Structure 1
Amino acid sequence: MSLAEPVASALRDAGLDPLYVEDLVRATLEEDLAGGIDVTTEATVPEQQQVMATLTAREAGIVAGLPVMEAVFAAVSDSVTCERRVADGSWVEPGTPVLTVSGPGREVLLAERTALNLGSHLSGIATATSDWAEALNGTRVVVRDTRKTTPLLRPLEKYAVRVGGGENHRSSLSEAALIKDNHVAAAGGISAAYRAVRQAAPDLPVEVEVDDVRGAMEAVEAGAELVLLDNFSVEQVREAVAAVGGRARLEASGGLSL
């Protein structure tokens, strides 16, 4: 299986690796077939029958994942064509046509569930991200994601966050350092942990997670430029912002809701 260049190009434009998406699509289709065939479709749909299907939104929200959905349909047959009815990142209302698919009926039905699963999942992430981004509109605060992603779907889920107006945190353990309580305990304190990481990785971004305002101050005094306020109350966040006084960027995580 090899994705056609227009499909691969659309994935690259979305910041996605076509080889990664291709491998993921292959695995999901194989999972659906489990080494067999689509028994129901092959029994009821004539081999030469051509169909046209339009995927529509059932709920209001942000559409994300169209390049990925196109990759799914392209993977089953180069005879299946897709026409986007909206752009990725568009807000849609229930009943809005999103994607029209044409081609051999058997291939379209084989790809349908995998395409819908991925597109629905990514659109949900983008919509939730958009809700947060809208609530923060007009401030200097941005929405960031985490590494708490579905195994093997991290690139897609982080892409959906971008579509929804959010910003990506580190994508891997090697991309940036995040000193958490376990690291602090092992190193013997916040300052010691920061110095150890900075010495080991002088060119990487380093963030320090803290549990209270005093920890935030220690991290800043050690040299941290980014401090994660873990499970702080709103009042504690206010205290930390005032205490740090702009000497470092602050990030709040845990216990947050709209």
Structure 2
Amino acid sequence: MTHRGYTEPVVSVEPDDFSSLVDLAWEEDLPSGDITTDSLFRNSEKTKAILLAKDAGILCGTDVIACLLKKTNHTIQYSPFLKDGARLGKGSKIGELYGNLSSILKTERILLNFIQYLSGIATNADLVVNKYPNLVILDTRKTLPGYRKLAKYAVHTGGGWNHRINLSDMAMLKDNHIAKAGSIETAVSLIRNQRPNHRIELEIDHLTQLNEAIKAMPDIILLDNFSDEDTKTAISLLKKEAPQILIECSGGITPEKLEFLSSFEGIGVSMGYLTHTVRFLDISLEIE
């Protein structure tokens, strides 16, 4: 999957991308052990547990499991049946844990929180992308602190596109930047001269800004909170006058609002919805 003028997609994650989150989750849930488990079970007792999907969706987040299990001093082994990106049905077996019963019970909630959350994001993206395949469905930076790389990876796993990963990735001019610079052309020119190898996206929120925006020649023009009628006018003019400029729409866009935008072929649509309106996918850990 190419980046279509945005950022390089997050196609995989490494332990450095989430180990600090795993450490925080462990300390948060087990500051002084597990009163229930430690009181009931011997450390020598072993068992098997199945990671089981109880809902349909897209699997994501399994890379976190190995990092989490290190916190148990390797008293649990994980055998995967499915990989990230797998399409889950109700009853799909994702993988098997075998080892110390106490360790499995202590890691259960932390493991599920990661897998359910990231699978929920991937499923969100998959549902939208499959319904509107002619749009470039993009995520945003509206992610939980520390989860940026994981959330972007989950969007990509679900078939969506990654917008800029962080503020260092590309330039994005908004109304405050433009007001301070003095004009759209000045703002674009200043960045182009200082950062010639970085893409520039320009956000406009009114049709009256469009001609100046086209003259400034950014790489991407973002139509923010445009009415349907103004969106039609802007896209028609952009495709006629500056077909090399990528077009993006944003502004509180939910799946219901995509029907209208899907009539325009190949435009980008950035959706904070993908990562900030997430239902945990129903996945459980069943001890046998």
By the TM > 0.5 criterion, same fold? yes
For 2:151, the equivalent position in structure 1 comes to 157
Counterparts of residues 210-229 of structure 1 (less than 5 Å): 210-229=204-223
The worse-fitting range, judged by mean Cα deviation, of 145-154 and 92-101 is 92-101
TM-score (norm 1): 0.89
For 1:104, the equivalent position in structure 2 comes to 100
Shift of 1:217: 3.1
On the 8 A contact 2:122/2:158 being kept in 1, the answer is yes
Q: Alpha-carbon deviations, 1:154-209, whole Å to 9, x = none?
A: 01000000100011111111111110111111111211211122222221111000
On the 8 A contact 1:206/1:224 being kept in 2, the answer is yes
Considering only aligned residues, what root-mean-square deviation do their CA atoms show, in Å? 1.7
For 1:230, the equivalent position in structure 2 comes to 224
* Separation in structure 2 between the aligned mates of residue 63 and residue 136 of structure 1, nearest angstrom: 21
On the 8 A contact 2:17/2:150 being kept in 1, the answer is no
Identity of aligned residues (%): 35
Shift of 1:226: 0.5
* Separation in structure 2 between the aligned mates of residue 61 and residue 233 of structure 1, nearest angstrom: 33
The worse-fitting range, judged by mean Cα deviation, of 63-72 and 155-164 is 63-72
Secondary structure of residue in 2 paired with 1:251:
strand
* Separation in structure 2 between the aligned mates of residue 76 and residue 69 of structure 1, nearest angstrom: 11
Higher-helix-fraction structure: 1
- Which of 244, 248, 251 is 2:248 aligned to? 251
- Which of 47, 69, 84 is 2:43 aligned to? 47
Say if 1:237 and 1:75 are closer, same or farther in 2 by CA, change over 3 A: farther
- How many residues matched? 243
User: Where does structure 2 lack aligned partners over 5 or more consecutive residues?
Assistant: 1-9, 256-288
- Which of 128, 133, 138 is 2:129 aligned to? 133
TM-score (norm 2): 0.80
Shift of 1:80: 1.2
For 1:64, the equivalent position in structure 2 comes to 60
Secondary structure of residue in 2 paired with 1:256:
coil
Greater RCO, CA 8 A, separation 6+: 2
Say if 1:103 and 1:133 are closer, same or farther in 2 by CA, change over 3 A: same
* Separation in structure 1 between the aligned mates of residue 33 and residue 116 of structure 2, nearest angstrom: 24
Shift of 1:93: 1.7
For 1:7, the equivalent position in structure 2 comes to none
For 1:32, the equivalent position in structure 2 comes to 29
For 1:9, the equivalent position in structure 2 comes to none
For 2:164, the equivalent position in structure 1 comes to 170
- Which of 69, 74, 83 is 2:70 aligned to? 74
- Which of 88, 91, 116 is 1:92 aligned to? 88
- Is residue 2:195 matched to residue 1:201? yes
* Separation in structure 1 between the aligned mates of residue 155 and residue 184 of structure 2, nearest angstrom: 31
